[in-house]
Amino acid sequence: MKVFDFRNPNGAVEVKGLTNAYRILPDNSIVLLGTPYTIVDQHSWESYYKNLKTLTDQSINDTFVFIEAAWDPLLISTPECISHLAAIKEFFPGAKVAVLSSQCQHWFDNIPGVIYYPSFGIIVYDWPIFQTRSKRIGCLNRHNSPHRLWLMHSLLSEKLIDSDRDVFSVGFTSLYDLTAYGKISHRVDLDDELKKYPPQIATHPDNFPNDYTINHPAWHTAIAVVTETRPGNDTLISEKTAKAIISKSCFSIYMAETGYRVLEELGFEPRFFAEHASETNIEPIKEICRQFDTESAAMDYRQSQIHKINHNFEWFSKGPTLGPWYDQYKLKFQQALECL
């Protein structure tokens, strides 16, 4: 397997040793990272195709070629995706070419050449070290997306979370483009509201690492609120949800219904509460904070859900060993490869 990174506009760079997230792919594969499929706002297609030609002029080819869009949101439309896929195939004569997408809707769409790829379950996480469970709600927000800022602003301003009962973090600097979530931006003037906050709010300051551990105390509270990367139609499941599972959390995930359906298709039991937040509807998270207003009430509820918690933990991967969830996915993946 060879992996090439196109994030450098001057040319593709071969990446050595980066196979963790691709360990279920066939050995006779090429993986293309950093393409405009996921970073279209940073690099042009013209530059990408120029660098792709330079690469293939070196006789780089194999049985399978995968365009990696399995960790960041797929930022182009389905027609654009198919059109560029056809163009990329011209560079790899005889190869089977596909996009690996983390967008949950692609589990159900069955678009030729677009394969749903659950990176969140494939990468290898640090072996969990469990801490004494304490506090009521845990909610970490590493990247400053508008939906996370809106959620945290709402919870803080309505006094639904506080540093005495809960564990949380959010940064109000280096914001992502707020216009990316037009519906949220129109519902509340985030720009003005966020100026009232300090650059960061964190009950346990840790410099906001984006890691693959459950070391942060937020993963050892009674209830974990997970704010996934995208909460709307382009929902994907990331390491955030994986860490909720690995930490044996009773969780509520802020993402679209499609994400919950994919987790269920893979054999998990993600529904700890009757409703979940998605896109502009954060009322379910507010209701959790209202209903379980003390640590003891939240802990009692978590204990009532222990069968689901344990099932999810056992169903997930353990270090390099893929969990039973993979058996639910493997046949679908193999069929997708056969259809290329």
CA–CA separation, 10 vs 30, rounded Å?
A: 20
pLDDT tens-place string over residues 268-281: 999 999 999 998 89
**Torsion, CA 310, CA 313, CA 318, CA 321, rounded to 10:** 100
Confidence of residue 180 (pLDDT cuts 50, 70, 90): very low
12's tokens:
């593709």
For residue 216, pLDDT beyond 50? yes
Confidence of residue 337 (pLDDT cuts 50, 70, 90): very high
Mean pLDDT, the chain, as a whole number? 90
pLDDT digits (tens, 9 = 90+) for 30-87: 999 999 988 766 678 999 999 999 999 998 889 999 999 988 778 788 899 999 999 9
Q: Which tens digit of pLDDT belongs to each residue from 111-147?
A: 999 999 999 999 999 899 999 999 999 999 877 788 8
Helix (H) or strand (E) holding 56: helix 45-56
Looking at residue 175, its pLDDT comes to: 55
Select from 272, 277, 260, 236 the least CA-distant residue to 151: 277
Other Cβ atoms closer than 10 A to 21: 20
